[in-house]
Amino acid sequence: MERLQLIAHARSHGDAVALRSGSSEHCYNELLDCSATLAAVLLGATADLSETRVAYLAPAGFDYITVQWAVWRAGGVAVPLSLSATEPELEYLLSDSQSQSVVTTRALVGKVEALVERLGLRLLIVDDVGPAQRQPLPKVDSQRRAMILYTSGTTSKPKGVVATHANIQAQIETLVEAWQWQATDCVALFLPLHHIHGIINVMCCALWSGATIEPYPHFDVSAVLERVAAGAYSVFMAVPTIYVKLIQALESLSEDDRARIVGGFSRMRLMVSGSAALPASVHEKWTSLTGQNLLERYGMTEIGMALSNPYHGERRPGTVGQPLPGVEIRLKSEQGRLVTAQCEPGEIQVRGPGVFLEYWNRPDATAESFEDGWFQTGDVAVYERGYYRIMGRQSVDIIKSGGYKLSALEIEAVLLQHPAICECAVVGVPDDTWGEAVAVAAVLDDGDELSLESLRAWCRDQLSHYKIPKRFLAVDRLPRNAMGKVTKPAVRELF
Ligand code: MLC
Ligand code: AMP
């Protein structure tokens, strides 16, 4: 019997359309066939990959899902890579995860070929995989490791978050139940597929349910709006920045064009926002433009989704609702007390089957992140009249920009390698489109000058584009406290 539930579900969906792109369609059976073939190629002479890490770089679509399923069916651990990562970032991900193989597409192979060769890894191009000798696939127990997603935190380098098959299954099941995913659903997939939002909430939930996905290589406002106007989608999931961009696009259209598109939005059964705070003003603007009441939810790479406004019932702007099925939540005060009073802030702690197994190769960081079996999120919330409201993060070194979580420390470490920069402090500053924008205050070496443009150009080979500072200020000295430590809130005030 098939132990991987996503695969078992796919069998029952058979000929249903899993993916649609223009006039091209792929059914579930094709995904099953191709992933079995690729699994056989990955296995070669071995019977089970036994949690060997397989990294892959592919755009959203048939190849991406084929690779993910092939890795899982062969007993490996899936390590999805970011399409916008720079070579140093990719090198870090491959080395830290100790990946042994990299799978990519012919179109993308140039991005990884030299690196893979230098690291001595196996390279597979999914387009070149021909018919292979089928072989029995291993029975993969749900407690085994399934995926490593990299997430930035309060350490300089991102940490690998390890989820088991059981974790992933729980993360999917709670959303399928709470948001009533159905086989008749069709969803646009334009979020990056190296993060949980795109992978679990959109892709895996849709595939689990037998729904149809329309993949985009990246978020393309006009292409998405065209399909919305055609009434293609019943479900839509995005980060707040995308809603801001959609509002800007709708407002720039003629009344007729806007009415056509708004019709497509208003007919959807569910529109969700998450990954960063949705400003109440954006929520209200969206409702007034489209008639849709966005459902805001809260989650994290380490825990999947934890809190959600209701599918039926009041969706309260500025809040993230209540615990999802199977998720336990508690708030801990700064003094370490359990918060029981309404409106008193506390750190969100989470327990449940969706909570990750460990940080890859970091037993200390894993142990530190749990308290009595509860995962400590570092996010602060209050409970008000039955709904949780997120107040912010405990650490100033974590920035959320366009829905991406960024580490100020990681960006600082790179900027300090710039020949003109003597010291620097990176902070997130409020931004209407991006939520927060990356800003850097730097002390330059004597006599050096630096413009934002030249700094950004220098960063391009080092940092993914969304980590590159948007604002730059040269200062004589950084604000420090009596102990000599840089005070980030004071740095923020400089912008
Ligand atoms: C891009 N740009 C930015 C930026 N990102 N500027 C400032 N801050 C940022 N964060 C700039 C680029 O440099 C470029 O500038 C221009 O904007 C267009 O870049 P782009 O990448 O083409 O933009 P776009 O495609 O519009 O990207 C916006 C976006 C993307 C919102 C679609 O950021 C995105 O996909 N975000 C989602 C991330 C996500 O999935 N997070 C979930 C993590 S999981 P120029 O000058 O070159 O034109 C998680 C858990 C949970 O958080 O709860 O879900
Ligand atoms: P990541 O580590 O990329 O998975 O991002 C998870 C973080 O995103 C959480 O710890 C929160 O800080 C933030 N986040 C997710 N959803 C929301 C939300 N609805 N409101 C505010 N912050 C959110």
pLDDT at 130: 79
306 CA distance to ligand 2 middle (Å): 10
344 CA distance to ligand 2 middle (Å): 20
101: CATH:
3.40.50.980
Tell me if 44 is assigned to some domain: yes
219 lines ligand 1 (CB under 6 A): yes
Tell me if 289 is assigned to some domain: no
Dihedral sign of CA atoms 386, 390, 395, 398 in order: positive
Position 21 pLDDT exceeds 80: yes
**Atom 3, ligand 2: residue with shortest CA distance:** 405
442: CATH:
3.30.300.30
Position 468 pLDDT exceeds 90: yes
pLDDT at 26: 98
Q: E strands, 65-120, where? A: 77-80, 101-104
Q: Tens of pLDDT along 159-175? A: 999 999 999 999 999 99
151 lines ligand 2 (CB under 6 A): yes
Q: Tens of pLDDT along 327-376? A: 999 999 999 999 999 999 999 999 999 999 999 999 999 999 999 999 99
The percent of residues in the chain predicted with pLDDT above 70, rounded, is: 100
- Supply the angle between the helices 62-73 and 28-43 in degrees, to the nearest 10: 50
Position 240 pLDDT exceeds 80: yes
How confident is residue 154, by pLDDT bands cut at 50, 70 and 90?
confident
User: Quick one: DSSP state of residue 394?
Assistant: S
Tell me if 465 is assigned to some domain: yes
How confident is residue 1, by pLDDT bands cut at 50, 70 and 90?
confident
299 CA distance to ligand 2 middle (Å): 6
Q: What is the mean pLDDT of residues 466-481?
A: 97
Q: What is the mean pLDDT of residues 101-123?
A: 98
Tell me if 109 is assigned to some domain: yes
393 lines ligand 2 (CB under 6 A): yes
Q: Which of 300, 322, 396 to mutate to test the pocket of ligand 2 (most atoms within 8 A of CB)?
A: 300
Question: Last residue of a domain, which of 115, 140, 165?
Answer: 140
Q: Which of 149, 199, 405, 436 to mutate to test the pocket of ligand 2 (most atoms within 8 A of CB)?
A: 405
8 Å CB contact between 287 and 253: no
Q: Which helix (DSSP H) or strand (DSSP E) does residue 424 occupy?
A: strand 421-431
> For residue 21, what are the β-bridge partners?
24
Position 156 pLDDT exceeds 90: no
Tell me if 232 is assigned to some domain: no
- The boundaries of the domain holding residue 479 are 398-494
Tell me if 192 is assigned to some domain: no
Question: Last residue of a domain, which of 95, 115, 140?
Answer: 140
pLDDT at 208: 98
Mean pLDDT of the chain: 96
Position 135 pLDDT exceeds 90: no
Runs of H (alpha helix) within 181-220: 196, 205-209
pLDDT at 33: 95
97 CA distance to ligand 1 middle (Å): 25
Question: Last residue of a domain, which of 140, 155, 180?
Answer: 140
Ramachandran category for residue 101: left, alpha or beta (phi over 0 → left; psi -120 to 50 → alpha):
beta
> For residue 215, what are the β-bridge partners?
189
- Supply the angle between the helices 87-97 and 109-119 in degrees, to the nearest 10: 50
Q: Tens of pLDDT along 393-434? A: 999 999 999 999 999 999 999 999 999 999 999 999 999 999
pLDDT at 56: 98
Position 2 pLDDT exceeds 90: no
Runs of H (alpha helix) within 358-433: 363-369, 408-415
Nearest ligand, CA 82: 1
Tell me if 38 is assigned to some domain: yes
pLDDT at 133: 74
185 lines ligand 2 (CB under 6 A): no
Tell me if 269 is assigned to some domain: no
Q: Tens of pLDDT along 432-457? A: 999 999 999 999 998 889 999 999 99
437 lines ligand 1 (CB under 6 A): yes
Please count the structural domains in the chain. Answer: 2
149 CA distance to ligand 2 middle (Å): 15
